[in-house]
Chain A
């Protein structure tokens, strides 16, 4: 396994194994089999930069590295994409503003 990314939405985190040469579309297809949401209704946003990731580009192209946190937002019934929503852990360790453990 070359690398993995953490795809987060609400209270759920998906650990997705991948390779730097895979495209965002490849990642979305993997997610599709897990969450039953078509590729077109998924949007992935790199947490560190807030950049919306483009289907045709690879992970390496867009500087998505091992252990990166990527936000998943969905589009329901052909309307707009929902806003990014990642719930903070809400436990005794949680004190950081961005909700991701520091590296």
Chain B
């Protein structure tokens, strides 16, 4: 777990979530940002800002990334989503191709 293996996702309110690149790449959109050669400042600095995703939603998304990795490795648990988050979470998931 070194700095190079981590990426920082920043919410609309400026809150930062430092997560493993491996987890972030569950999102096809973030994967593209981090892997496309030289074109995104994001891939150099390891920081991605989401001005349209609020803090609560972004945290839930990060939890989902990790849940997804756990699920893929055979740990089958449920992912709980609060009803009030559903709509915005779906919109964010659509944007992130998650």
Q: Which residues of A contact B (CB under 8 A)?
A: 1, 3-4, 11-17, 30, 33-34, 66-67, 87, 89-94, 101-103
Q: Give the distance to chain A from B96, nearest Cβ to Cβ, in Å.
A: 16
Q: Which residues of B contact A (CB under 8 A)?
A: 1-3, 6, 11-20, 23, 54-57, 59-60, 62-63, 66, 69-70, 73, 80, 82, 84-85
Do B66 and A1 have beta carbons less than 8 Å apart? yes
Q: Choose among A34, A90, A103 the residue that contacts B55 (Cβ–Cβ < 8 A).
A: A90
A33 neighbours in B (Cβ, 8 Å): 1-3
- Check if A13 sits within 8 Å of B18, measured CB to CB: yes
User: With A15-B62, A16-B1, A102-B82 as given contacts, are A34 and B6 in contact (CB-CB < 8 Å)?
Assistant: yes
Q: Contact at A101–B60, with CB atoms within 8 Å?
A: yes
- Contact partners of A17 in chain B: CB under 8 A: 1, 20, 66
- B80 in contact with A12 (CB, 8 Å): no
Residue of A at shortest CB range from B18? A14
Q: What residues of chain B lie closer than 8 Å to A11, measured between beta carbons?
A: 14-16
